[in-house]
Structure 1
């Protein structure tokens, strides 16, 4: 890896962490839950009918399933998510966002979106935003392809 590659990686990670930290700070100031709650609520709401299988949700959010289970436990306790087992396959668990979960996600999005619009997006022209988004999507797909072609150890 060249110095330029290392700088790009470090810059990407640093910008992501600092932006999420700012989102977290602003959510807390607004009296709203943390970013992780938003992430799960968005992951569910963006699924077909507001529902996803738990393992699909973990994959969509790129988080470990055991962390997701604990988080969904808290969201379910707050009435933001409902869980159910599949009638066909008792091992399959589904999570569905509730009406209250949708309302909370929308409140949180206002804070999240304004933070990104204020601190991150102005650093890129529209053309650069499109190119960067496409490049990051290609990188994510390369990782997914690598994972699916590598036998489990």
Structure 2
């Protein structure tokens, strides 16, 4: 239900579906800005056929590009384009506002801390801990949420 509300907020703001944001985020997090389709599939936890269709849409919109692997001519990479990086950053503003509206505004500070603790235990960090001060860093920077 929360994801449906977030999707609706993105749509109202004129943005594509959340899956596009997720794919662009994963590509932007890759050290070289590119992943093999199977790596993107694993990162996003969606089936192969959905990944293929999503990649096709991103490429058609100029948000990603396919690149042949020089070592393995049968393989390919999907690389985020500058337009893809820009869209992902713009989408983050609407996405983060929707998260706050549909999740954050409904939690007390104590509840939010407990939720972050649970997510951290599951490997889904709410923010990076600053080793010197042991305080949470900002959860997002330049449209890229912390893991």
TM-score by length of 2: 0.76
Q: Deviations over 1:79-119 (max 9, x none)?
A: 00001121111232211110000111111111111111222
The partner residue of 2:28 within 27, 37, 45 is 45
User: How far has the Cα of 1:78 moved from its partner?
Assistant: 0.6
Match of 1:99 in 2: 82
Partner of 1:130: 116
Find the counterpart in structure 1 of residue 14 from structure 2: 31
Bigger helix share: 1
- Structure whose CA Rg is larger: 1
Conservation of the 8 A alpha-carbon contact between 1:121 and 1:129: no
In structure 2, C-alpha distance between the alignment counterparts of 1:127 and 1:75, rounded to whole Å: 36
Residue 14 of structure 1 corresponds to: none
Unaligned runs of 5+ in 1: 1-17, 139-153
Q: Which runs of 5+ in 2 are unaligned?
A: 125-147
- Which stretch of structure 1 is more off in the superposition, 72-81 or 128-137? 128-137
1:62: how far off?
0.6
1:84 equivalent in alignment to 2:67: yes
Corresponding residue of 1:115: 98
Please give the root-mean-square deviation of Cα atoms over the aligned residues, in Å. 1.6
Q: How many residues align?
A: 121
Q: TM-score, normalised by structure 1?
A: 0.73
